[in-house]
């Protein structure tokens, strides 16, 4: 690892933060130490970084805003790559080209300011464009698959290609990139529709007020824990109806406000949250025979 980091530094790939706690970079506010977080300056430096990662066989992962990840409390013996420098947002008529590191909420806000409709659903999702495309993030019966026209990616053999909407194969909370985890999203082209700025702002305001009433936004969480199952009640209702609201393990709690949220209520460890997620999942399966799918990705638990 030391030799690898020396070479990263000598090639001026970008800022490096060494021996930091992942808890500072995830919305759950948990996670152990990571050897280094690297911020490549541009695509050329990212390609070079990937070559060095292959050369030294370094464990690695792309990290966006950490809003859908549950890292363990163990040390992550590898590097995390943050694409914060890939943050451009450029509008061309009703299209917007945005870098993978751009804030999804910011892109939604800038779109609405221009009277462009289509991203209102994203105004409360605290992720990056790259993470949102990867997860096919969505809300209010819409998602990234409805608006994303093309995605520029770095392939596992370090080619830069553009995937169309059809090639991205968007489905409910899934995309081509989830099945090709070694591909890296670089930027996305989003197509919007002309709308009324005041009407769009009213929609966002109304939804913000509803979120404040219906979601536990005053505690660290990663949003909805489970995907809503097909042909059944929403996950939150299933969990609530078997009396699990308010259930705690250590400092983690099934939110009393919304049962599909698990919150870090009192300095929870990653294990507290992990164990509570699995307990709820098992309880729902035992009671209903429904195997809920966890939306969050568990990292470094092996």
Q: What is the pLDDT of residue 211?
A: 87
- pLDDT(212) > 90: no
pLDDT bracket for residue 154 (50, 70, 90):
very high
Residue 295 annotated among the catalytic residues of the structure:
yes
> Of 23, 72, 224, 269, which residue is the catalytic one?
224
Options 187, 240, 253, 295, the catalytic residue = 295
| Sign, Cα dihedral of 191, 193, 196, 200 | negative
pLDDT of the residue at 203: 94
Task: Evaluate whether the domain defined by 89-200 bears CATH number 3.30.465.10.
Answer: yes
Q: How confident is the model at residue 140 (pLDDT cuts 50, 70, 90)?
A: confident
Q: How confident is the model at residue 141 (pLDDT cuts 50, 70, 90)?
A: confident
Strand 297-299, strand 60-62: pairing: unpaired
What average pLDDT does this structure show over 139-150?
94
Q: Is 173 a catalytic residue?
A: yes
CB 158 within 8 A of CB 51: yes
**Mean pLDDT throughout 108-122?**
96
pTM value is 0.91
Q: Per-residue pLDDT averaged across 69-81, rounded?
A: 97
Q: What is the pLDDT of residue 71?
A: 98
119, 108 Cβ separation under 8 angstroms: yes
Task: Work out the angle at residue 134's Cα, subtended by the Cα atoms of residues 257 and 152, and round it to the nearest 5 degrees.
Answer: 145
Q: Which residues of 187-220 are buried (b: 16+ CB within 10 A; e: fewer)?
A: bbbbbbeebeeeebbebbeebeeeeeeebbbebb
Q: Which fold has domain 218-299?
A: 3.90.78
Mean pLDDT of the chain: 96
Summarize the confidence of residues 144-159 as an average pLDDT.
97
Which residue in the list 123, 173, 187, 240 is annotated as catalytic?
Answer: 173
CATH topology for the 2-81 domain: 3.30.43
Answer whether residue 102 shows pLDDT above 90: yes
Q: What is the mean pLDDT of residues 80-95?
A: 97
Q: Where are the domains positioned within the chain?
A: 2-81, 89-200, 218-299
Band of residue 216 on the pLDDT scale cut at 50, 70, 90? very high
- Residue 30 scores a pLDDT above 90: yes
Residue 46, C-beta contacts closer than 8 angstroms, at least 6 positions apart: 13, 40, 81, 83, 154, 184, 186
Residue 220 has pLDDT above 90, yes or no: yes
């Amino acid at each position: 690892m030391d030799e690898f980091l020396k070479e990263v530094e000598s090639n001026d790939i970008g800022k490096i933060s060494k021996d930091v706690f992942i808890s500072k970079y995830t919305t759950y506010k948990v996670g152990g130490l990571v050897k280094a977080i690297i911020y490549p300056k541009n695509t050329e430096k990212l390609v070079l970084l990937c070559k060095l990662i292959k050369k030294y066989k370094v464990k690695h992962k792309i990290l966006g805003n950490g809003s859908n990840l549950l890292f363990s409390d163990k040390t992550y013996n590898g590097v995390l790559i943050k694409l914060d420098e890939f943050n451009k947002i450029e509008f061309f008529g009703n299209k917007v080209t945005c870098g993978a590191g751009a804030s999804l909420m910011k892109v939604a806000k800038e779109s609405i300011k221009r009277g462009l409709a289509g991203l209102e659903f994203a105004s409360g999702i605290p992720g990056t464009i790259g993470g949102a495309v990867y997860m096919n993030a969505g809300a209010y019966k819409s998602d990234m698959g409805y608006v994303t026209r093309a995605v520029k990616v770095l392939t596992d053999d370090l080619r830069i290609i553009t995937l169309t909407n059809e090639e991205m194969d968007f489905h409910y909370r899934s995309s081509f990139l989830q099945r090709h985890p070694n591909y890296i999203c670089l930027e996305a082209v989003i197509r919007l529709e002309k709308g009324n700025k005041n009407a769009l702002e009213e929609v966002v305001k109304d939804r913000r007020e509803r979120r404040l009433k219906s979601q536990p936004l005053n505690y660290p969480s990663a949003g909805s824990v489970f995907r809503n199952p097909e042909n059944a009640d929403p996950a939150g209702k299933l969990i609530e109806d078997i009396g699990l609201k308010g259930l705690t393990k250590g400092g983690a709690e099934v939110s009393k406000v919304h049962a599909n949220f698990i919150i870090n209520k009192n300095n929870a460890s990653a294990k507290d949250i992990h164990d509570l997620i699995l307990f709820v999942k098992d309880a729902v399966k035992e009671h209903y025979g429904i195997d809920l799918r966890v939306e969050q990705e568990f990292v470094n638990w092996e």
